[in-house]
Structure 1
Amino acid sequence: MFFLSLIEHKLRLPPADLSLPLHEGIKKFLDGIFLDRVILNLGRCVSIYDIRNIYGGFIHAGEGAPTYTLEFRMVVFRPFT
């Protein structure tokens, strides 16, 4: 069965992805983290469905990349529910 799961995640967007539009850069980075991975008690991540909210964009001292807090929905596969 396929399910939509709402996930909140904090990520540091690398400077190489800042040349893209914000949603595209974040989605590209999230695909690299979650795509085809198994998350315990959630299932296997199939794809990022949509990004609901983006908070932050703060650059902390000593870092060269902004930190965002995201809420997004992901399609997950759970064979047994």
Structure 2
Amino acid sequence: MFILSILKDNVRVHPKDFRKPRPSALTDELNKKYANKVLHNVGLCIRVFDIIEASDGVVHACQDGSYQSKVTFRMIVFRPFGGEILIGKIRDCSQEEGIKVSMEFFDDIIIPPTFMPAGTE
């Protein structure tokens, strides 16, 4: 259900965050960008697990003074496997839309009527 995915991105850190330790500043920016977002072919990003590698920052003095680093990091991702059994609570159901299921951290699961077993009403 939960996996660690390795991702790479360019991260921009603003001058107001220069007082933070560098790993914390990078992690905060990555969480702002990815947490609670669905990445195609990856899954629902939960939060940054750790930073594997970060390049030296390049300062953009002519802009706002922020620096940018190339970062390789591991992200905790919700990605159920095919055939995996998950436990949730039924929020709503209708014959047209199917069943809406809520898990403790995720409320947007919809099971269409076409995926229901035969004889289910």
Greater per-residue strand proportion: 1
Counterpart mapping for 1:1-81 below 5 A: 1-60=1-60, 62-63=62-63, 64-81=65-82
User: Any stretches of 5+ residues in structure 2 without a counterpart?
Assistant: 83-121
Q: What is the TM-score normalised by the length of structure 2?
A: 0.62
Give the aligned residue type for 1:50: D
Bigger RCO (CA 8 Å, 6+ sep): 1
* Root mean square deviation, CA, Å: 1.3
Shift of 1:60: 3.5
Number of equivalenced pairs: 81
Deviation string for 1:2-54 (max 9, x for gaps)?
A: 11111111011111111111011111111111111111111000111100111
Query: Does the CA contact (< 8 Å) of 2:12 and 2:29 recur in 1?
Result: no
Q: Take 1:77 and 1:25, find their aligned partners in 2: how far apart are those partners?
A: 24
Larger radius of gyration: 2
Higher helix proportion, which one?
1
Q: Which amino acid aligns with 1:25?
A: A
Question: Partners in 2 of 1:6 and 1:29 — Cα distance?
Answer: 16
TM superposition score normalised by structure 1: 0.90
Percentage of pairs with the same residue: 33
- Alignment partners' CA distance in 1, 2:28 and 2:22: 10
Unaligned runs of 5+ in 1: none
